[in-house]
Structure 1
Amino acid sequence: MVIHGGVRKAVFYLLSVALAIWPLAWLFSPIGAYSAATFYFSPSSVKVNIGQTTTVSLFVSSPDQAMNSAGATIVLPESYVEAVSVSKSGSLLTTWTEDPAISGSTIKFSGGLPTPGYIGGGAKILSFEIRGLKEGTGLITLNQAKILANDGQGTNIISGSATSTVTVSRVIVGASITSTTHPDQNSWYNQKNIELSWNRPSGVTGFSYTFSKEDGSGGESAQTNSTSASFANKADGVWKFTLRTNFDNGQTTTSTFTIRIDTAPPNPFTVKFEQPNGPTDAFPILTMDATDTPSGIDRYEIIIDDFEPLISTEASIKLPRQRPGTHYYTVKAIDRAGNYFEVKGQFEIVGFPGPVITDYPRLVAALQPITLRGRGLLGATIKLFIDGKEVAEFVVANNLTEKQRQNLESEDPEQTVEWVYTYKGIVLPGKHTLWAIQVKSDGSESNRSNGVSMRITASSINLGGLIIPLSALVVILLVLLIIAAAILIWLHRKTKQAIVKLLSMLNRAKGKIDEELDELKEDRSKEAIAEAESRIDKTIDDITREIKK
Structure 2
Amino acid sequence: MLGVLEKNKIGGRATLAILIGLFLPLVKVLAADLYVLPSNKSLNIGENLSIAVYVDSLDQALNAVSFTISYPEDLLRFVSLSKTGSIINLWVQEPKGGNGEVSTEGIVLNPGFTGSRGKIININFKALKPGTANIKFASGAVLANDGLGTNILKNMRDGIVTIKENIIKEPTIVSYLPTPKIFSPTHPDQNKWYNNNNSMFEWQVPEGVSEVRLLYGKDPNAMPTVSYSPPISKKELKNIPDGSYYFSVQFIGEGIESNIGRFKFNIDTQPPVLEEFSLSLQDSNSIKFKIKVKDEPSGIEKIDIYLDNNLTLTTSSDIFEDVIKNVSVGNHIFKAIIFDKGGNSLTKEEVINVPQPITKTEIVIQKDYTLYFILAFISILILLLILVIYLTKHRVEIIHKEIKREKIEKIKADLKKHLKETLQNLRHDISLLDEDPKLSQKEKELYHEAKNILEEAENKIEEKLKELE
> Which structure's CA Rg is the greater one?
2
TM-score tier (shorter) = 0.3 to 0.5
User: What's the TM-score, normalizing by structure 1?
Assistant: 0.30
